[in-house]
Structure 1
Amino acid sequence: MSQISIGISAYNTEKYIKYAIQSILAQSYRDFELIIINDGSTDNTSDEIKKFNDDRIVFIDDKENKGLIFRLNQLVKLSKNDFFIRMDADDIMFPDRLEKQIEILNTNRNADIIYSDAISINNKNEVLGYKKSYLIKNKKDILEGRAPIHPSVAIKRHVLLDNPYQEGFFQMEDMELWYRLAENYNFFNINEPLLFYREESTKISIKHKKMRKGLFNFTQKYFPDHFIFKNKIMLASNLKFYMYSILEFFNQENLLLKRRYSQLELPECRKYQEILNKVSLNG
């Protein structure tokens, strides 16, 4: 009997969705359900998904755009199995991701949320560097930027049913969720990459501008009476926004992207590129 449900919310990802699906269908662990919701895409995302004919795929082609948070909660409710894996429509799984995560979930019964490191890639499916994850022990770890790499997460379904994603935390939904869960649930990190994480080409300053609103709502909810702390966080966020804007003005976005990952030695880079090529060129 299947133990894993994988959920993808897809919006205007016609260029990348096939790589995500291919990497899932090529997993060494074969017994799972894959639920994909087209969230009102205006491009050919739906057509790309329909090219795949596999009994494990459940496809919901919704013409209305309801947003990521609504869709994530919908995916969890639709899932039928004990463990839920959130996958972004533009990322790519390592071939043994499910096998390794289900093994840990079955042998470490106390682990509620497990996650891994990742390999950063660009829009051309080229390896950029290594993205590290850290063990979460308490809420302080989340505040210090140690949040899991979200699309690498496998989580017990009941945890998300009891603690659904919350609206209003723009670009901060994952941090808000982990902060809520850190006190009562156990995190387990796998110190190896199981995901190829696509670094967005969208201007980082635009994304960070949206995130500032989410960060403000986060501090208002959890630190309503901590005036100095809230202002310190928002000041740091504002400084980042202005720094990002200046670098983008001078076409130095690559300096921002490099802050997100560490460089790989050439042999390691080639190794991961070979794995990525096998998955992305499949089909």
Structure 2
Amino acid sequence: MTPPRVSVVLCVYNQADYLPEAMGSILGQTLTDLELIVVDDGSTDSSPEVIHRFTDPRIRYVRNERNLGHAGSLNRGRALARGRYLAIMDSDDISLPERLARQADFLDAHPDVAMCGSWVETFGARTEVRRFPTEPAALAVHLLLSCPFSTPTVMLRQAATVPGGFDFDRFGLAFDYACWVDVANRAPVANLPEVLLKYRLHAGQTTVSRRAAQLAGTRLVLRRQLEALLGEVSEAELDALMYVFVNEVSDEPPTAAIGWLFARLRRANRQRRRYDPAVLDALLAEKWAHIVTAHEPAVGAMWGQAVRYPALWSWALGRDAIRRTLRPFKPWFWKQRPV
């Protein structure tokens, strides 16, 4: 039997309500040379019945004898995959019809790229378009501070998959982030600058229901990356990077620690050239401007931190700092204007 061009792994656990749309969106792709491997992680709802309603011969259904979790189910599906490319799909999302064709054609045209994702449009709890960096150099740097991939949009070469697969035992719910970092350390990665998936937001998602566990795994991934560039790192430096990753305003943001860490990252990278220095410097300046002007609660402290690290200065930092300084005077200014 000739192997398919793309193997799609869709893991499901008690998602009967959303499963028909998810499976239908894969089976209705313009790229038809595919297999859809549905891994049922021991669902106790009607998911198996929903799956068996589909009679498409491209479907391969397997059911775990015991609950393996998402990472374990993905690993099982990956082991069964026969395609040149491996695509991931979640059981509550919707792939747009051109998704697989666009990604497979991109990987065909860029043999040096190991993996590609895409932008997504959220629906359900709220609607927005999430645009991720697209170029390999930018993605390599962004992976140091965030996870610039939406996992259900990822397609990667079978040859580029990490030995051992997704490591839940070590990284917990951040297993996918850890894997993308590993892949990017070996070869260029990319995102296509277009929406190829509709990403459902609802209360039952892992990212919502088990956020603390996911952040614990994220901390391990960030530590590993910091150590690769800096060598030994302190818990305070790791706390600072976690604050940047989460990007939630706090009454006492670790601004000084973030500035120190960013300056150290900048110096170390100029020595080791692990990342493109211009790209890393620009991203650090962008993040620093946001943290200082949007998170620092006092205007005086904002200016103190802004001038403390000249290497992190940017026009955006100066502009936003001035705007924030003048904001309290805006009502007075408008009141003084002649009618």
Tell me whether the two structures share a fold, i.e. TM-score over 0.5: yes
Structure with greater Cα Rg: 2
Corresponding residue for residue 114 of structure 1: 116
The structure where helix makes up a greater share of residues is 2
Equivalent residue, structure 1, for 2:257: none
Whether the 8 Å CA contact 1:86–1:154 is kept in 2: the answer is yes
1:177-188 → structure 2 map (5 Å cutoff): 177-188=179-190
Q: Unaligned 5+ residue runs, structure 2?
A: 252-339
3-state DSSP of counterpart to 1:76: helix
Contact 2:203 2:209 in 1 (8 A): no
5+ residue gaps, structure 1? 244-283
The Cα shift of 1:220 comes to 4.8
- Partner Cα separation in structure 2 for residue 129 and residue 237 of structure 1: 20
Q: Partner of 2:51 in structure 1?
A: 49
Cα deviations across residues 177-232 of structure 1 (Å, max 9, x unaligned)?
Answer: 12222222111221111111112324866432122321233345444631132122
Partner of 2:143: 142
Percent identity of equivalent pairs: 22
- CA 1:242/1:209 → structure 2, altered by over 3 Å: closer, same or farther? farther
Question: Can you list the C-alpha shifts for 1:237-281, whole angstroms capped at 9, x where unaligned?
Answer: 7894989xxxxxxxxxxxxxxxxxxxxxxxxxxxxxxxxxxxxxx
What is the alpha-carbon distance in structure 2 between the residues aligned to residue 29 and residue 177 of structure 1? 26
With 218-227 and 31-40 compared, the bigger mean Cα shift is at 218-227
Q: How many residues align?
A: 240
Match of 2:336 in 1: none
Give the secondary structure class of the aligned counterpart of 2:185: coil
After superposition, the CA RMSD in angstroms is: 2.5
Shift of 1:128: 1.2
Q: 1:46-105, CA deviations, whole angstroms, 9 ceiling, x for partnerless residues? A: 111111001100001224211111111111111001100010111111011112112112
CA gap 1:28/1:234 in 2 versus in 1, 3 angstroms? closer
1:231 maps to 2:239: yes
Structure 1 residues 226 and 34, CA, compared in 2 at 3 Å: closer, same or farther? Answer: same
Q: Relative CO higher for 1 or 2, CA cutoff 8 Å, sep ≥ 6?
A: 1
Residues in 1 aligned to 2:79 and 2:149: alpha-carbon distance in whole angstroms: 22
Contact persistence 1:38–1:46 (CA under 8 A): yes
Contact 1:13 1:45 in 2 (8 A): yes
TM-score (norm 1): 0.77
